[in-house]
Structure 1
């Protein structure tokens, strides 16, 4: 997937690699969070694929921002 065209301002689905790029965290961290529930970021399961909505990623960033 071409990650250079991903944006948090456009609602689209991306895979774990794309989400890790947008959040600047390793893909392994997202996989761990998903499996342990340590950090809850909504995801979509399509068959065996895991996808993240970019607007959910943006909401996660906003809710994690310390003001």
Structure 2
């Protein structure tokens, strides 16, 4: 069963463009567009590309964010959150 997460990420990778809109990233991650905007303002969350007024997220950055926030237990997630605080 260890191949499921990587398989899911591979499937997700195929569905993402090289550069993705906040709406697409929101749909994929479940993080609201407003939260993504807040993270951009505060320097948190997923790295982004800004070209004029257009904001995009690189596929690899979105996948890395998902991978970095994948845990096997809630205590592991809690420990990770405490380490980054």
- Provide TM-score, normalisation by structure 2: 0.61
Q: Indicate the RMSD between aligned Cα atoms, in angstroms.
A: 1.7
Alignment check: 8 A CA contact 1:8 1:54 kept: no
Structure 2: segments with no counterpart, 5+ residues: 1-10, 73-85
Q: 2:36 aligns with which of 8, 17, 30?
A: 30
**Structure 1 stretches of 5 or more lacking a match?**
1-6
Higher helix share: 2
- Count of residues in Structure 1 that have an aligned counterpart in Structure 2: 60
**Given the two structures, how large is their TM-score scaled by the length of structure 1?**
0.75
